[in-house]
Chain A
Amino acid sequence: MTKKQFRLIFAILLLFMQIVINRSLNEYNINIDFLFLILVFVSFRDNFIRTIIVATIIGWITDVLSSNVLGVYGFSRVVIAFLLFEIVKYIDFKKLSFTFIIVFSSLSISNLIANIFFLFIYNYSFSVSLLVFQPLLTSLLAVLLITSGKLQKTLNVY
């Protein structure tokens, strides 16, 4: 299996898990954004245009899955993809703490942007789950995935 095929299967698997977990959020009480991990890995290693396109698609899928206004997550993910793409050049991702901080803060900011839109459109209040718990769990998972040696090599994170 080539690295490209592995990355594709890995992305499909994450999408698969996102769909599964979205349906059983109330059941398991675990809120992880698996799709955001795809965006993080893509922004680590791909070019700008591809990162933006992937961010848009991931944002739209998140919108559909969360049954919200189409474009909110699309917008927030594109913004954060741009920031990630600009930041990753200056960060040493061999340090796991950096990975954790980057994933956590970027997902938090992205969710914050989306939450601001929800505040304006639906008058929703800020959600702690979206701003803290989801980024925390997602960043922990990102660290776990990156520490896996084979995955590290295949995804070309460093």
Chain B
Amino acid sequence: MERRKGLAEKKKLFFIGVLFLNLVLISNSVVLKNNRSILQNIFHSFFSPFQIVFQKSVDFISSELRSYVFLKNSFKKFREIKKKQSLLKYENYILRKKLEDFESLNEAKKIFDKFIDADLISIDSNFPLSGGFINKGSILGVKKNMVVLNNDMELVGKIVEPVTFFSSKVRFITNSVGGIGAYIDKNKMEGLLKGNNSRNCSFNYLIENKPVTVGDLVVTSGTDLIYPPYLKIGNVVKIEKKVLVQNVIVKPFFIEKSIKKLFLIKND
């Protein structure tokens, strides 16, 4: 009991002592008329470094944080820009591809602009291999002497009169009228290829010094100024040797193919 009382007394004394110390400090300041006492200077000198360190730390941390936020935002923006760049690259690639396709389409268009597609609407019932009529006429630009090809770009014939507004006549190369300047592709032996309203055409009077074999390819030579050169006509199917000359029988390719769909080459 007495010990506890003694402890309480000590506590009170300590408390009063601390209060007294503070009062002394206050009165000291008052007596010095706001000039700092030695104790105050010591306390300030002791505490100020901590204060400065803390403030500097805060400044450092806040500036670092600001930098971090700035960097983070910059990185985010960088990623967004990178993403956009990738998208643009992809878009660019697609557009380039489309442009390429478009250009090739244009090229194709340029090529196909030189053609007029037509359907065969009738064939001469008396001489089926002499010619027929197509469904395109002068209104669509069909003119006399236009070259007619089949689906595989093999020679079929040419346009002859009559050419009406909506139809035109096609004379097949197998027709007995007219002829085609042509040569045998292998040895460039040139001659006039003529039809005879049958399934074959023939080279007459080709000189014998150059050998011709069955199966040789025959193409147009362009010397007749009607048919352009290098158009495929047919294959050699028979060779008849005579004195100094040889007759070469050619079977046109179009004979064994469908000629329902035809193409006309515009002669600009």
Task: Judge: A and B partners, yes or no.
Answer: yes
Residue ranges of A at the interface with B (Cβ–Cβ < 8 Å): 15-16, 19-20, 23, 48-49, 52-53, 56, 59-61, 64-65, 69-72, 74-75, 78-79, 82, 117, 121
Q: What's the nearest-Cβ distance from chain B to residue A136, in Å?
A: 25
Contact (A61, B47) CB under 8 Å given A16-B54, A82-B15, A121-B30: yes
Given A20-B58, A49-B11, A64-B44, verify A56-B18 contact (CB < 8 Å). Answer: yes
Number of interface residues of B (CB under 8 A): 28
- Residues in chain B within 8 A of chain A (CB atoms): 11, 14-15, 18-19, 21-26, 28-30, 34, 36-37, 39-40, 43-44, 47-48, 51, 54-55, 57-58
Known pairs A64-B44, A82-B15; A71 contacts B54 (CB<8 A): no
User: How many residue pairs, one in A and one in B, have C-beta atoms under 8 Å apart?
Assistant: 73
Bound CA–CA A71/B29 (angstroms): 9
- With contact pairs A20-B54, A49-B14 given, residues A70 and B37 touching in the complex (Cβ less than 8 Å): yes
Question: DSSP majority for the B interface?
Answer: helix
Further 4 A-B residue pairs, CB within 8 A, beyond A16-B58, A64-B44, A72-B22: A69-B25, A71-B23, A117-B26, A121-B29
How far is it, in angstroms, between the C-alpha of A158 and the C-alpha of B54 when the chains are bound? 32
Contact at A78–B22, with CB atoms within 8 Å? yes
Please pick, from A23, A52, A121, the residue contacting B14 in the complex, using a CB distance under 8 A.
Answer: A52
Chain A, residue nearest B24 (CB): A71
22 interchain pairs (CB within 8 A)?
A: A15-B54, A20-B54, A20-B58, A48-B11, A48-B14, A64-B43, A69-B25, A69-B29, A70-B36, A70-B37, A70-B43, A71-B21, A71-B22, A71-B23, A71-B24, A71-B26, A71-B29, A72-B22, A72-B26, A78-B15, A78-B19, A79-B19
Nearest CB of chain A from residue B192's CB, rounded to whole Å: 107
Residues A23 and B26 in contact in the complex (CB < 8 Å), given A64-B47, A70-B43, A78-B15? no
Residue A69 contacts which of B26, B43, B47 (CB distance < 8 angstroms)?
A: B26
